[in-house]
Chains A and B, each alone.
Chain A
Amino acid sequence: MNEFFGSTLFFGAVITIAFYECGILLKRKFKLALFNPLLICVVAIILFLVLTGTAYSVYYDGAKYISYLLTPATVCLAIPLYEQMELLKKNWKAVMAGILSGVLTSLTTVFALAALFHTGRALYVTLLPKSVTTAIGVGIAQELGGVVTITAAAIILTGIFGNMIAQTVYRVFHITEPIARGVGLGTAAHAIGTARAMEMGEVEGAMSSLSIAVAGVVTVVGASLFANLPV
């Protein structure tokens, strides 16, 4: 099938959008966290590629035009943030306290688990930046001498998992403030979590967008300090 799909320009983009829409339909029908449109879409495409014997590179040739817009879209997260500026100014202490405590939690728990499992330094610094947005996290791992591919995989799976689990975490632990919900998603699950926050509401989305940027920059400094700890 490589030959046929490889000769079309629109195959990759079409199955991406088609499976995503299927995911949305399933989510609407069964209101379960597991029926996450992103997760369903990714799993369905992987199955499709494996079953038809189509190479990832063939799929990516068409699908890359969708990813092309990722940087401009991230830039545009400034728009909801700007619209919620008054709310942010009023609550900036709470927001900053939330993001900083989240980053610290991320670095300490990765350190604790790495020490517990005796991973060695290379794997430890590979996983250290796993909570931040891909471009920042991969940059940090590279700087510290980690395995970039694993970092990228950890970041993406963190995003999907955070996107899936947020509703449950917030319900179980009674997190009802929209600002707090946004900060939690953006700090723990970066841009993929923010996609979920946008669905929850405008305030959640704006606070989540801010958290990606702040948590990312704070982690640049924090990870380089934590990397010196012995594991």
Chain B
Amino acid sequence: MKYIKQMGIILAISFVGELLHHFLPLPIPASIYGLALMLLMLQTKLLRLHAVRETGKFLVEIMPIMFVPAMVGLVDDWHYLKPIWLLFPIVVVVVTILVMLVSAAVTQLVIRWEKKRDE
């Protein structure tokens, strides 16, 4: 019974996320509203960790597989990319590496800088 109850809570929070997405005029998906809501409920002890823990961890663990069906869908959309075959890979590769590097390096710099200051 524990798992079905945990799944029920998780689905209920997802559903409230869908409601928020439907009624608020922002381009924010239901899943992000749901994430914020669950975090808020855990933080305020409205929801206890043990009420969602095992099922939640399981869902997070199998998450990579959930992207596969949409990715395979690229096979049907390939013709959209033909006219920009050169620009497209350049944008994906250059921007992704730069963003990853800058955001990680800045975070690391600030952490080390704060550590030094506290010593």
Contacts and interface: CB of A to CB of B under 8 A. Distances in A.
Interface of A: 12, 16-17, 20, 37-38, 41-42, 45-46, 49-50, 56, 59-60, 63-64, 66-67, 69-83, 85, 91, 93-95, 97-99, 101-103, 105-106, 109-110, 113, 117, 119, 123, 127, 130-131, 133-136, 139-140, 142-143, 147, 149-150, 152-154, 156-162, 165-166, 169-170, 173, 175-177, 179-181, 183-185, 187-189, 191-195, 198, 205, 209, 211-213, 216-217, 220
B80 interface: yes
Given A106-B99, A166-B100, A195-B67, 17 more contacts: A56-B75, A75-B34, A78-B34, A78-B39, A79-B57, A94-B108, A99-B103, A102-B100, A106-B95, A110-B91, A135-B29, A136-B27, A179-B107, A184-B104, A198-B60, A212-B32, A220-B26
B95 A45 contact: no
B100 A165 contact: yes
A158 to B, nearest CB: 5
B77 to A, nearest CB: 5
Contacts of B92: 130, 154, 157-158, 161
Contacts of B42: 78-79, 82
Interface of B: 7, 10-11, 13-14, 17-18, 26-32, 34-39, 42-43, 49, 52-53, 55-57, 59-77, 80-81, 84, 87-88, 90-108, 110-112, 114
A63 B71 CA distance: 11
B96 A131 contact: yes
A70 B62 CA distance: 10
B100 to A, nearest CB: 4
Contact of A184 (B10, B70, B101): B101
Nearest to A224: B27
A74 B43 CA distance: 17
A175 B104 contact: yes
19 contacts: A42-B72, A60-B73, A69-B66, A73-B60, A76-B10, A76-B52, A76-B59, A78-B35, A79-B60, A101-B106, A109-B94, A113-B87, A135-B32, A139-B27, A169-B101, A176-B108, A179-B107, A184-B105, A212-B32
Contacts of B73: 56, 60
Given A12-B69, A140-B27, A131 B95 contact: yes
A59 B74 CA distance: 13
A110 B88 CA distance: 11
A175 B66 contact: no
A123 B84 contact: yes
B88 A154 contact: yes
Closest 5 CB pairs of A and B: A102-B103, A184-B104, A139-B27, A98-B107, A135-B29
A158 B92 CA distance: 6
Contacts of A130: 91-92, 95
A165 B96 contact: yes
Contact of B80 (A70, A103, A150, A188): A150
A73 B68 contact: no
Contacts of B65: 16-17, 20, 41, 66
A188 B72 contact: no
Contact of B72 (A59, A82, A170, A205): A59
